[in-house]
Amino acid sequence: MGRVLGRSGIEVSEVGFGCWAIGGPAVADGMADGWGDVDDEESVAALRRGLELGVTFFDTADVYGAGHSEQVLGRALAVHRDEVVIATKFGYTFDAGQRVISGEDTSPGYIRQACQASLRRLGTDWIDLYQLHVGDLPASRALEVAGTLDGLAADGLIRAYGWSTSDPQAAATFASGSHGTAIQHELNVLADAPAMLAVCDTFDLASINRGPLAMGLLTGKYGPGTQLPADDVRSAQPWVGYFDGGRPAPRWLARLDAIREVLASGGRTLAQGALCWLLARSPRAVPIPGIRTVGQAEQNAAALHLGPLSAAEMTEITRLLGT
């Protein structure tokens, strides 16, 4: 069982793995922009365990851990390169030594430089899906970026490209590039995105789902009394919607409580139920839950065999959420 990345013809597993957390610490605007310290050996073991269990799609970015995530991913998959599909992103500048994210650059020269640097860190000759990371770029500028990416594809450095953005109208404009095949956007059972899914349907694009577990909220591990550490992005960055200062936001916990029973029925964990909702939501959806441990890899990969939620379960969740 697999899914195809839009019009590229590239086949991936129905669930991929997101590799932000394995990058370890980084700082943006003077605040934590990672998920705290990480054990690289555990990360490598988790990635390889996912592959053993059928996960073939791995999504990272050059800025995660200021290059460290790409290095760890490249090391973990070095002898399996032909078995996997690797996606990474570009557009933000950073200092790898200081682990500081410093700005953004989407000029043609910088994109080519960033691509070469990612290829080196990943230890590969090609990137399967190269994604523009700057989500709020004007659509006209994104089209210029697409032209540069078409050049990288012509040179054999990338197979296809996409954009990580939340703007459906901009995504529709970007879709005119010849190798454009995917939009990465937020989507989970608590935060649907019908307008973006409609764009993906219209232009034959993959819907790569970041935040499929609502930054961990949908694992059920966090309650009203939770306080995450200061070096966790969920404590530091103001744009994190599901947490407020490292504490789960009450309104999101209330939404989760409303659907907890349906998600966890049929022997599923909450996280598995949330992933199975995404698989039922759209045949274009490819959720990329983050992993840091072998246990997380095993739990998330199990969604591959549990399959999509039933139509009745999907209807019940819609009713319970009042959407």
Query: Digits of tens for pLDDT over the chain (323 positions)?
Result: 699 999 999 999 999 999 999 999 999 988 888 888 999 999 999 999 999 999 999 999 999 999 999 999 999 999 999 999 999 999 999 999 999 999 999 999 999 999 999 999 999 999 999 999 999 999 899 999 999 999 999 999 999 999 999 999 999 988 877 899 999 999 999 999 999 999 999 999 999 999 999 999 999 999 999 999 888 889 888 888 899 999 999 999 999 999 999 999 999 999 999 999 999 999 999 999 999 999 999 999 999 999 999 999 999 999 999 96
User: Rounded distance, CA 242 to CA 142, Å?
Assistant: 28
Contact 134, 103 (CB under 8 A): no
Contact 231, 237 (CB under 8 A): no
The residues with which 28 forms a beta bridge, in sequence order, are: 31, 101
The pLDDT of residue 195:
98
The pLDDT of residue 323:
66
User: Rounded distance, CA 141 to CA 253, Å?
Assistant: 38
- Domains belonging to the chain, first-starting first, are 3-321 (3.20.20.100)
The angle formed by the CA atoms of residues 73, 79 and 80, to the nearest 5 degrees, is 75
In sequence order, which residues have a C-beta less than 8 Å from that of residue 47 and are 6 or more positions away? 17, 19, 22, 58, 72, 73, 76, 77, 291, 297
Extended strands (E) in the chain: 3-4, 11-12, 17-18, 27-28, 31-32, 57-59, 85-90, 92-95, 100-104, 127-132, 158-164, 180-186, 206-210, 243-244, 247-248, 285-287
Structure tokens at 280: 């039922």
The overall pTM is greater than 0.85: yes
CB atoms under 10 Å from CB of 80, counted, come to 13
The end-to-end CA distance of the chain, in Å, is: 30
CB atoms under 10 Å from CB of 221, counted, come to 12
What is residue 30's DSSP assignment?
A: T
Secondary structure (3-state) at 163: strand
The pLDDT of residue 176:
78
CB atoms under 10 Å from CB of 277, counted, come to 27
User: Rounded distance, CA 148 to CA 129, Å?
Assistant: 14
Which of 243, 248, 261 lies closest to 320 in space, CA to CA? Answer: 261
The pLDDT of residue 1:
66
The phi, psi pair for 164, rounded to 5°, reads -95, 100
The phi, psi pair for 3, rounded to 5°, reads -130, 155
Residue-level length of the chain: 323
The DSSP bridge pattern shows strands 11-12 and 3-4 to be: antiparallel
The pLDDT of residue 174:
85
